[in-house]
Amino acid sequence: MKYRLLGRSGLRVSELCLGTMTFGEEWGWGASKEESRKIFDLFAELGGNFVDTANRYTEGTSEKWVGEFLGAERHRFVLGTKYTLITRPDDPNGSGNHRKSLVRSLEESLRRLGTDFVDLYWVHAWDFRTPIEEVMRALDDVVRAGKVLYAGVSDTPAWIVSRANTIAELRGWTPFVALQVEYSLVERTVERELLPMARALDLAVTPWAPLGAGVLTGKFTRGARPAATRLKEGSSKLGERPLAIARAVDAVADARGVPSSQVALAWLRSRRGNVIP
């Protein structure tokens, strides 16, 4: 396993990040605790140290299991989690980017993870309500309190990220060092604005759905389609264009004698900039 710097920071992370959205079966699909443990242990054994979760993943189960799996080795890993999405439907402040949501979500995540701090705290999505200054100041406060080491932002327009980091720089606050976006061979929209911005601001890019929600693994193009999948018939991911791309990936994989998923990840790792799938 090779390592890269996380954006404009001195933090070293593995060139692959372990996403744990499927750790847990609360959503009707996902991995059991035993299977999740096997995945985590193999990742760690191969030198992986970058782990990604979120407070909403499988309604908190992902964070709980990740915390257990890290155990006494917690400080060897770079642990990231997120806040923003709805956690309490009956509470008007149970979601959003505002300070109250951030502080409460972080405290709850720390309890589930069984740790005193997270290495990377992500804004999961932009709510288009909270002032940018409030978000950046609140993130800076939890960094200064020692509960967060670095800040990242996910699924947010380029102009907002650019403005946020400009404000942080001018005021001496903690800037974003990483950007999380959907990016794969079947979803390349971010190449228009977000990736050029990330290169200009020296942000690490951690793609979500790097395998196109499973389309680039070969399971939808090699034989019968799986019965248990989060992709339903009619999904745009199963359209003519994505499946044609997937078949091209399969052909490259067959020629090299490797899994289709390996080809899809290798393509991402070859992109310009600091892309960490």
Catalytic center residues: 57
Q: Specify whether the CB–CB gap between 127 and 99 falls below 8 A.
A: no
Nearest residue to 73 via CA among 45, 53, 54: 45
**What is the total residue count of the chain?**
277
* Neighbour tally for 179: CB within 10 Å: 28
